[in-house]
Chains A and B, each alone.
Chain A
Amino acid sequence: MHSIWVIFQRELASYFTTPLAYVFIVIFLALAGALTFFVGNFFDRGQADLVPFFNFHPWLYLVLIPALAMRLWAEERKSGTIELFLTLPISISAAVLGKFFAAWAFSAIALALTFPFWITVNILGHPDNGVILASYIGSLLMAGAFLAIGAALSALTKNQVIAFVVTAAACFVLTVSGSSIVLGFLAPWAPTAVIDVVASLSFLTHFNAILRGVIEVPDAVFFVSVIALFLFANAAIVELKKAD
């Protein structure tokens, strides 16, 4: 536990010692705002909720989370610091968890900084703040799932660009797997069971369920399971590839 905490602190601080943190947060907020107001027609809808804001989160995360995750292991392997890091008296799981929680905490900070949207909508009307809280939690869970996938894939390569592209592609597939495009492609030939499984893997389906205002156990369990699965894979990949 102690080493997870020490690693967490170092990793989180490392975002802020480079311009990465500031660039990321500014771009995230600017894009979130632009999409909400211009594409989501926040004002024209005339409703006091944050649906147009949260609707774009999967697509925002698709671009931004891989950028956050790509450095986690690829950079350590490229610069050789992984040899120093993993010969310290820590377990692989502490290393994986410390890094993951730092990245997740950072995305939580970025997400928390969208609070002006929440203030705005409360000034303009009387939104259901329970729904908004649930949506924030759902958004954070989804960010965590994207990050866990990105962290695991980042351990596969020394090249951050490859880590970014592969993570973005993997997250895209998981995001849209419940959409009519994918299901329409499968429907004519795949058995119903397969279609159900593919549809149930969709981030979008689970996220939209949470956006309706209720965090149902299966949706939360889904994201937590994705995180756990990929962190487990992350540890295995690090063990396998660290010395290559």
Chain B
Amino acid sequence: MAEMIEVRNLTRRFGAILAVDRVSFTVGKGEVLGFLGPNGAGKSTTMKMITGFLAPTAGTAVVVGADIVANPIAAKRRIGYLPEGAPAYPDMLPRNFLRFVAEIRGFAGAEAARRIDLAVARTSLSSVMEQPIETLSKGFKRRVGLAQALLHDPDVLILDEPTDGLDPNQKHEVRTLIKALAPEKAIVISTHLLEEVDAVCTRAIVIANGRLLADATPVALAARSRLHNAVRISLASGHDEAEVALRRLPGVAAVERTDDAGDGALLVLPRGGQAIVGEVTDLVRTAGWAVRGLSVERGRLDEVFRTITA
């Protein structure tokens, strides 16, 4: 796997505040890296440094061989960037805006037109090409920002909250697009939607107070949850006796009542994250309980996220 982005000890200080503190990671071709963290954690600041908007106080980022500090213009050519809030010139038409970006990136005439058409098709923008950007809905504005980032078919895509403010259908479209682009590119997206990490990311990084706290696949991250491999079991009746019986199983650490679905189900937590679904189903069979529902928890990212960043 070729490394497309190499972030080395990236540090940024604003006066007395250390916004980003020696963050290092790499992203290879085909990876979609989810950048997670509470608001103000340093996600956007890190992205601004990788894209060359903000000069690092120390450290650097190398984008497809070009150092963003030493050789910013070469690095910027390889990056497609959607800044937070998808800023675009409000009084321009999307057509003129995309043409401007295409020309700045060195495409002219038929080549520019071909690239604009492709980016517009990928982001389903064709219906609003002649409307001033300021009159567009949030979803369309976001897609104009995405189209702009895709114009030059960059090796590296940096997307700061690409689905923020979109409705569920639009979110789905953007995620489908990101997945379709993923095999050929290195993609970094920041988000505070954990479902998004599950939906599109091959790897996740958790950052809080400017420090990198975790770097793992979403599955490995979820496995850190105390709910990993827990069994949720809901019975027609007799929850109380079942709770007592389940506690006696050797692999079970605790049994909790959960009312998340309104059925007073039991949540059976494993000892040390081991798989206990076998033990539990054996017990269910021998005891002859009337089971209404039984499921295994993969672990919850939001819970892990809270534990890591608290």
- B104 contacts A3, C-beta separation under 8 Å: yes
- A87 contacts B106, C-beta separation under 8 Å: no
- B104 contacts A84, C-beta separation under 8 Å: no
B51-95 residues at the A interface, CB under 8 angstroms: 51-54, 73-74, 76-77, 79, 81, 83-85, 87-92
Contact of A91 among B53, B73, B79, B103 (CB under 8 A): B73
| A81 within 8 A of partner (CB) | yes
Name the CB-closest residue of B to A7.
Answer: B104
| B101 within 8 A of partner (CB) | yes
User: For the complex, what is the distance from the CA of A84 to the CA of B76, rounded to whole Å?
Assistant: 11
User: For the complex, what is the distance from the CA of A174 to the CA of B91, rounded to whole Å?
Assistant: 34
| A6 within 8 A of partner (CB) | yes
A80 and B73 contact, Cβ closer than 8 Å, known pairs A17-B92, A88-B104, A243-B53 = no
A1-27 residues at the B interface, CB under 8 angstroms: 2-3, 6-7, 10, 13-14, 17-18
Contact of B105 among A81, A84, A88 (CB under 8 A): A88
- B83 contacts A89, C-beta separation under 8 Å: no
Task: Please give, as numbers and ranges, the residues of chain A lying within 8 Å of B52 by CB-CB distance.
Answer: 86-87
Contact of B73 among A13, A18, A90 (CB under 8 A): A90
Q: Residue-by-residue, is A226-241 near B (CB-CB < 8 Å gives 1, otherwise 0)?
A: 0000000000000000
User: For the complex, what is the distance from the CA of A73 to the CA of B55, rounded to whole Å?
Assistant: 19
| A128 within 8 A of partner (CB) | no
Task: Please give, as numbers and ranges, the residues of chain B lying within 8 Å of A18 by CB-CB distance.
Answer: 91
Task: Please give, as numbers and ranges, the residues of chain B lying within 8 Å of A14 by CB-CB distance.
Answer: 89, 91-92
| A83 within 8 A of partner (CB) | yes
Say how far A3's CB is from chain B's closest CB, in angstroms. Answer: 6
Number of interface residues of A (CB under 8 A): 22
Say how far B290's CB is from chain A's closest CB, in angstroms. Answer: 58
- A80 contacts B103, C-beta separation under 8 Å: no
Number of interface residues of B (CB under 8 A): 30
| B289 within 8 A of partner (CB) | no
| B298 within 8 A of partner (CB) | no
Task: Please give, as numbers and ranges, the residues of chain B lying within 8 Å of A88 by CB-CB distance.
Answer: 76, 101, 104-105
User: For the complex, what is the distance from the CA of A17 to the CA of B131, rounded to whole Å?
Assistant: 12
Task: Please give, as numbers and ranges, the residues of chain B lying within 8 Å of A243 by CB-CB distance.
Answer: 48, 53-54
- A89 contacts B104, C-beta separation under 8 Å: yes
A81 and B89 contact, Cβ closer than 8 Å, known pairs A88-B105, A89-B77, A91-B73 = yes
User: For the complex, what is the distance from the CA of A90 to the CA of B53, rounded to whole Å?
Assistant: 11
Say how far B12's CB is from chain A's closest CB, in angstroms. Answer: 10
User: For the complex, what is the distance from the CA of A88 to the CA of B77, rounded to whole Å?
Assistant: 7
User: For the complex, what is the distance from the CA of A18 to the CA of B52, rounded to whole Å?
Assistant: 31
Task: Please give, as numbers and ranges, the residues of chain B lying within 8 Å of A87 by CB-CB distance.
Answer: 51-53, 76, 79, 81, 83
Q: Residue-by-residue, is A89-117 near B (CB-CB < 8 Å gives 1, otherwise 0)?
A: 11100000000000000000000000000
- A242 contacts B89, C-beta separation under 8 Å: no
Name the CB-closest residue of B to A5.
Answer: B103
13 additional A-B pairs beyond A17-B92, A87-B79, beta carbons within 8 Å, are: A14-B89, A17-B91, A79-B90, A80-B83, A81-B89, A83-B83, A83-B84, A84-B145, A86-B52, A87-B52, A87-B81, A88-B104, A90-B73
User: Measuring CB to CB, which residues of chain A are less than 8 angstroms from any residue of chain B?
Assistant: 2-3, 6-7, 10, 13-14, 17-18, 79-81, 83-84, 86-91, 242-243
The contact sample of 19 A-B pairs, CB cut-off 8 A, is A3-B104, A6-B104, A10-B92, A17-B91, A17-B92, A79-B87, A79-B89, A79-B90, A80-B83, A80-B84, A80-B85, A81-B89, A83-B48, A83-B84, A83-B87, A84-B145, A88-B105, A89-B74, A243-B48
